[in-house]
Chain A
Amino acid sequence: MLKNRLLLAVIMLVVFITGTGYIIYTERPVMNTDKNEFGNANDLSDSTTPSDQLFSTVYSMTDVQAHDLEESCWTSINGSVYDLSTWVSRHPGGAKAIISLCGTDGSERFEQKHGTSTAAQTALVLLKIGTLDSTSIATE
């Protein structure tokens, strides 16, 4: 009977590990090829390398301003454009701080709050979708 109990426990452990692996595999962060700066990674007809395509998507300040909602929240920080929509509910400092940045240039507020924070910089890198057209700022 001891063997049966241990066997059952081992089966449950295997089920747990398999399920955990499945969740990690299916929920792993993948690039959103619809809108990120890499474009379609499977399209090899384009002769440019991924590094050439990196940061090639340029957005104007008007594009950023069009995404001023919690559900679709873009901001520009130090010349880069970020989609913060998925970060709103995850921001350790609360959602309000992020919502206030939606559709605006958040460079100053980000620098004030997280200027030297490596964790914040790392989190931000994952949310980058392109660069900001510097001329669009002047015309705003």
Chain B
Amino acid sequence: MKEISSLMIRYTACLLFLWFGIQQLTDPNSWVVFLPEWTGYFPIPSEMLIQLNGWMEVVLALMLVMGLYTKFVALVLGAHLMGIALSVGQATGVRDAALALFTLSLVFSHPDIWTIDRRFQKTVNIS
């Protein structure tokens, strides 16, 4: 049961970041309003910033679904989402903070048996 709950958390977090990442890649204009004010002075267009953020989320979500460096990836995604939550604030910020903590829970649990990390661990134990 523990393995399944860990798997569910991993796949759900992956779905979450994949969906948001793809949305940011395909329709960056809708996400520009969520950028913090200070990014307005970045030397790159807001749309590009959104797309780069979306691409990072997609790649990390794919690593999460494979279970590749799960803890590290979960830490990066969780911390990233926590940053967004603190920046956005209000009700949306509370929801994002909860999702960030949900993702960060993967950092403190052992990778489930379907991860590449766990397969690697097994090989080490056998040898």
Chain A positions within 8 Å of B, measured between CB atoms, are 1-2, 4-5, 8-9, 12, 15-16, 19-20, 23-24, 27-29, 89-93, 119, 123
CB of B117 within 8 A of CB of A5, answer yes
- Any A CB within 8 A of the CB of B108: no
Which one of A5, A16, A24, A91 lies within 8 Å of B59 (CB-CB)?
A16
A8 partner, pick from B51, B52, B56, B116, beta carbons under 8 A: B116
What A residues does B120 contact at CB under 8 A? 1-2, 4-5
* Complex interface bits, B46-57 against A, C-beta within 8 A gives 1, otherwise 0: 111001100110
Chain B interface residue count, Cβ-Cβ cutoff 8 angstroms: 28
CB distance from A125 to the nearest CB of B (A): 12
What 6 A-B pairs have minimum CB-CB distances, sorted nearest first? Answer: A92-B40, A27-B48, A1-B123, A92-B37, A16-B59, A1-B120
Q: A24 and B32: CB pair below 8 A?
A: no
Binding site for A on B (CB under 8 A): 32-33, 35, 37-38, 40-41, 44-48, 51-52, 55-56, 59, 62-63, 66, 68-69, 116-117, 119-120, 123-124
B51 & A23 in contact (Cβ 8 Å cutoff): yes
Q: Which residues of A lie under 8 Å from residue B44 when comparing CB positions?
A: 24
Which residue of the partner chain, among B46, B59, B63, contacts A90 with CB atoms under 8 Å? B46
Supply 16 further A-B pairs (C-beta < 8 A) apart from A5-B120, A23-B48.
Answer: A5-B69, A5-B117, A12-B59, A16-B56, A16-B59, A20-B52, A24-B52, A27-B51, A28-B48, A89-B33, A89-B46, A90-B40, A90-B46, A91-B40, A92-B40, A123-B40
Say yes or no: A16 contacts B38, CB within 8 Å: no
Give the residue among B35, B38, B48, B119 with the most A Cβ atoms within 10 A.
B48
